[in-house]
Amino acid sequence: MDNYSPSSSSTSSSTAHPTSNATTSSNTTTTTTTTDPMQSWWEAISKARARILSLSSLLPSDPSSSFSLSSLADSDRPAISFLSSADAYSLFSSALYSPSSGSGSDPLCEWLYETYLSSDPQLRLIVLSFIPLLLGLYLSRIHSSDSTSAPSLAGFEAVLLAIYSSEVKSRAGKPVLIQIPDLSQPSLYHIPQNKQNPHGLDHSRPSIGVLSQPLEPHSAVKSTKRPVIVGVVLDCYFKQISQMPSWSKVELCKYASEWAGQDCACKNRFDGDTEIKIENGNENGYFLEDMNRNFRDDYNNHNGHGHESDDVVVEMEKLRLEKNGKEDLETKGVRIPLPLEILQPLLRILGHCLLGPLNSQDVKDAASVAVRRLYARGSHDLAPQAILATRSLIKLDKRGREEVKAAAANASSNANTPSKAKKPEILLVSK
Question: What DSSP designation does 202 have?
Answer: B
Domain ranges of the chain: 39-180+209-243, 245-269+334-412
**pLDDT over 70 at 282, yes or no:** no
State the average pLDDT for the chain.
75
**Considering only CA atoms, which of 35, 6, 243 is closest in space to residue 123?**
243
Q: Are 233 and 341 in contact (CB under 8 A)?
A: no
d(CA 282, CA 379): 22
Confidence of residue 76 (pLDDT cuts 50, 70, 90): confident
Most confident of 209-213, 277-281, 333-337: 333-337
pLDDT at position 166: 94
Identity of residue 135: L
Most confident of 54-63, 101-110, 329-338: 101-110
**Considering only CA atoms, which of 233, 235, 268, 249 is closest in space to residue 350?**
249
Over residues 18-36, the mean pLDDT reads: 47
Higher-confidence residue of 396 and 289: namely 396
Higher-confidence residue of 260 and 197: namely 260
pLDDT > 70: percent of the chain: 65
Mind listing the pLDDT tens digit for each residue in 285-316?
A: 333 333 344 434 444 444 444 444 344 334 43
pLDDT at position 204: 53
Q: Are 135 and 230 in contact (CB under 8 A)?
A: yes
Q: Are 136 and 101 in contact (CB under 8 A)?
A: no
pLDDT at position 119: 79
d(CA 317, CA 398): 12
Over residues 368-373, the mean pLDDT reads: 93
Question: What DSSP designation does 172 have?
Answer: T
Among 44-53, 132-141, 196-205, 409-418, the range scoring the smallest mean pLDDT is 196-205
Identity of residue 198: P
**pLDDT over 90 at 25, yes or no:** no
**pLDDT over 90 at 363, yes or no:** yes
Whole-model pTM above 0.85? Answer: no
Mind listing the pLDDT tens digit for each residue in 228-279?
A: 999 999 999 999 999 999 999 999 999 999 999 865 555 555 544 443 344 4
